A and B are shown apart, each in its own frame.
Chain A
Amino acid sequence: MLLTIENLHASVAGKPILNGIDLQVNLGEVHAIMGPNGSGKSTLSNILTGRSGYEVTAGSIRYEGKDLLELATEERAHQGIFLAFQYPIEIPGVNNIYLLKAAYNAKRKAQGLSEVDAYEFLNLVKANIKRLDMDEKFLYRDVNAGFSGGEKKRNEILQMLVLEPTLAILDETDSGLDIDALKVVAEGVSHLRSENRAFVLITHYQRLLDYIQPDFVHVLANGKIIKSGDRSLAKELEKTGYGWISQVDTQS
């Protein structure tokens, strides 16, 4: 098992947000997590990447057999975890190519491999830039600074393609994208999809799932997975919306 989340409870500023999440992800699988705003989807992805400010109050997360919560954020990245941020951060003064290369080499170094040279690396990046239909100029611009919403999301996918994670978590990467951009993102994911990787796609809409067919769909509400199923669950959600959730939740 690549990722095992058991009974995960977490709070932010003393306020409980996650109320007992159980989730298992195997290599080769694509999981979709859907749910209304505020249900805790980003909180889960932040906890998986080790963002500060989130307190795990109960439960556990195991990744490749290790206690994930023991690892520093950068160590998690070295071991293959990647989060495409819902709101990518702007970093004035640090350009994209620096970020990509530093991240790529940090991972290689952690794996005991030698750093790649600049030329080799640039070729690798350029191949991926093409795949995403991005302009090479983006490489020399400051990370996300002044990028449009769609450009930021593409930039996240570019990083994912370059870093080739084992577990990629995409937090609402589809939100705010037009249909062409959505296809590009889906194409990026499909390109990486393999038996040696797993994806967790956090999304609000079923739209993305037309392009990336998930193996499992989970519904997250009030910090809990209240329903799991296959692809058809996403279709069902599309029809019924999230209105029924509060009822289910109060029943349980």
Chain B
Amino acid sequence: MMLELNHLHYQQQFAKAKNVPRVSAWARNAQAEAFDRLLTKGLPSQRVEDWKYTDLTLLAGKTWLLSEAATEFNTELSLPAHQKNLVFVDGYFCEHLSSLKSSHDLEITSLQQSPHVMHEISEDIIDDLNQAFMTDGLLIKINSLIEEPIHLYHFNQSANVMNHVRHWIIAEPSSQATLIEHHVGAADIEYFTTAVTHLHCKENSNITHYKLQQESPKAYHLSQVISSLEANSTLQQFKFDSGSRLARTNNTARLLAPGAHCQLAGLYITKQQQHVDNHTLIHHLAPHTTSNEFYEGILTDRSRAVFNGRVIVQQDAQKISAEQTNKNLLLSKHAEIDTKPQLEIYADDVKCSHGATVGQLDEEALFYLQSRGIGEEQAKQALIFGFAKAVLSTITHQDTRLMLEKLTLPELNQSSYLEDLL
């Protein structure tokens, strides 16, 4: 049931990880325990139900070296001038590259100096890996209404290394902010990264969280997002995946008190040998909570994607509404999608719906466009982009929607779907 890790190698890496400063003895302990769990459990094999479609054998077999803080920067690292960033390179915070500074309204501190927030016993192997080898991370406290998006920019430039970043975001009562968590890799290098983000949305807070995964096409990216929503808080999340050789996200939203609402949306675009797995869990722990989930996928070549949408409605959590939709466009006969809703409803006054579709391009629509003189290739691209727009249009903030559309378009252009289609 497990893929064993090379103990000797990982122990050597762990010795290095222990050199990364930790403030408290408690944090050291938690780190050591996470490492023990990791070695004991290993990585899950495909015989573990939750990992049935995602094969970590290659990842487990490689001897990743723990990354070190960069002293030189790859030329592909180009930071957009118009936005305020918090920049990480190879898993280490680069303060001198970061234009966003801590302030009264937005407190930013190193997670290494905030041991209390590490206090969470993990049941997730991604979290164990991350805790054991954590390279760096931030504690971000949102104290009021923050207009400008908080851009967490993770750039990976070194080959054959692993890095593990961890963020803890606390939205204080009635605060409001937009977070953009961006993962980007230099072209054509192989590395392994884990990213764990905890998001605590207190009463009446309103948080928008973008998680954009554009790692190098050879990278391995395992991430975990855990959001906790208190009374009348709202979380809008958009997950974008176009990178990585293998990417897996365990994304959990816990609706803890009445009035909490979350909207999880996502778009994955996979090609060649890519494998992208999104496991989401929306846990309705209190009455009068609502959720709404919409993921779309565009798959080409021999790529593969997994969508598992689990929704749990706790006993006595009445007056719940939960909607889930997953739509997939399969542009190659060799691409494969495994999509599964997983509803566990233990209350009776609940409105739940779910639906999943897997389809090809609409030939009628294609003919219609061609009959107007639009060439086949352009017509197909228009239809594929039109498909993506359904989920992109859930982004209400216009600039961000445009940004996402701009990320999407080139991904569709590069794909070699034409070879395989129709």
Contact for A91 among B370, B375, B378, B383, CB less than 8 A: B383
Within 8 A of B (CB), among A72-94: 72-74, 76-78, 82-83, 85, 88-94
* Number of A-B contacts defined by CB within 8 Å: 84
Judge whether A74 and B365 touch: CB under 8 Å: no
Instruction: Please determine whether B371 and A83 come into contact, CB atoms closer than 8 angstroms.
Output: yes
Contact B385 A163 (CB under 8 A): no
The answer to the question of B148 belonging to the interface, with a C-beta cut-off of 8 Å to chain A, is no
In this complex, the interface size class of chain A, counting residues with CB under 8 Å from chain B, is 20 to 34
Given A89-B364, A89-B365, A91-B365, is A73 in contact with B371 using a C-beta cutoff of 8 Å? yes
Does B374 interact with chain A (Cβ within 8 Å)? Answer: yes
B373 close to A74 (CB less than 8 A): yes
CB <8 Å contact, A49 and B386:
no
Q: Does B376 touch A at the CB level, under 8 Å? A: yes
Cβ-based interface call for B388 (8 A): yes
User: Does the CB pair B389–A93 fall under 8 Å?
Assistant: yes
Q: Are A102 and B378 in contact (CB under 8 A)?
A: yes
Stretch from A19-27, A103-111, A118-126 at the B interface: A103-111
Q: Within the complex, which residue of A85, A92, A106 is in contact with B373, where a contact is CB–CB below 8 Å? A: A106
Is there contact, CB below 8 Å, between A106 and B375?
Answer: yes
Q: In whole Å, how far is A106's beta carbon from the nearest beta carbon of chain B?
A: 4
The reply to whether the CB of A222 lies closer than 8 angstroms to some CB of chain B is no
B370-409 residues at the A interface, CB under 8 angstroms: 370-376, 378, 382-383, 385-390
* A99, B371: Cβ atoms closer than 8 Å: no
- Size class of the B contact interface (CB-based, 8 Å): 20 to 34
* Nearest residue, chain B, Cβ from A75: B373
- A103–B373 Cα distance when bound, in Å, is 5
The answer to whether B371 and A52 touch across the interface, beta carbons within 8 angstroms, is no
User: With an 8 A cutoff between CB atoms, is B363 at the interface?
Assistant: yes
Among residues 43 to 76 in chain A, which have CB atoms less than 8 Å away from a CB atom of chain B?
Answer: 49-52, 72-74, 76
CB distance from A80 to the nearest CB of B (A): 10
Q: Given that A93-B389, A93-B390 are known contacts, is A77 also in contact with B371, CB under 8 Å in the complex?
A: yes
Say yes or no for B368: interface residue by CB 8 A criterion.
Answer: yes
Distance from B402 Cβ to chain A, minimum over Cβ atoms (Å): 15
Q: Which of A164-199 contact B (CB under 8 A)?
A: none
> Any chain B CB within 8 A of the CB of A142?
yes
Q: Separation in Å of the B41 CB from the closest CB of chain A?
A: 44
Residues in A135-168 with C-beta less than 8 Å from chain B: 142-143, 159, 163
In the docked arrangement, what's the CA distance between A179 and B213, Å?
Answer: 55
A91 near B385: Cβ-Cβ < 8 Å: no
A83: nearest chain-B partner, CB-CB: B371
Once A52-B363, A52-B367, A102-B378 are accepted as A-B contacts, the answer to whether A91 and B373 lie under 8 Å apart by CB is: no
Set of chain B residues within 8 Å of A72, measured between Cβ atoms: 370, 376
Nearest A residue to B385, CB-CB: A93
- A42 smallest CB distance to B (angstroms): 13
Find out whether the CB atom of A107 lies under 8 angstroms from the CB atom of B373: yes
A142 contacts which of B363, B367, B386 (Cβ < 8 Å)?
Answer: B386
CB neighbours of B382 from chain A (8 A): 94, 98, 102
The yes or no answer to B3 lying at the interface (CB within 8 A) is no
Assembly CA distance A159 to B387 (angstroms): 23
Q: Does B369 contact A (CB under 8 A)?
A: yes
B368 to chain A, nearest CB (A): 4
Query: How many angstroms between the C-alpha atoms of A161 and B240 in the bound complex?
Result: 40
Hey, which chain A residues are within 8 Å of B386, CB to CB? 91-94, 142
Distance, CA A194 to CA B355, complexed state (A): 52
Q: Which residues from A are CB-within-8-Å of B372? A: 74, 77, 82, 99, 102-103, 106, 159, 163
Q: Is the CB of B369 within 8 A of A99?
A: yes
Contact status of A93 and B387, CB under 8 A, knowing A52-B363, A98-B382, A102-B378: yes
- CB within 8 Å for A74 and B368 given contacts A93-B387, A94-B383: no
- Contacts beyond the supplied A77-B373, A90-B365: 8 A-B pairs with Cβ under 8 Å: A72-B376, A92-B387, A93-B383, A93-B385, A102-B369, A102-B378, A106-B378, A163-B373
6 residue pairs A–B, Cβ–Cβ below 8 Å: A72-B370, A74-B373, A77-B373, A94-B365, A98-B382, A142-B386
Sorted nearest first, the 7 A-B pairs with minimum C-beta distance are A93-B386, A77-B373, A103-B372, A93-B389, A89-B368, A73-B370, A106-B373
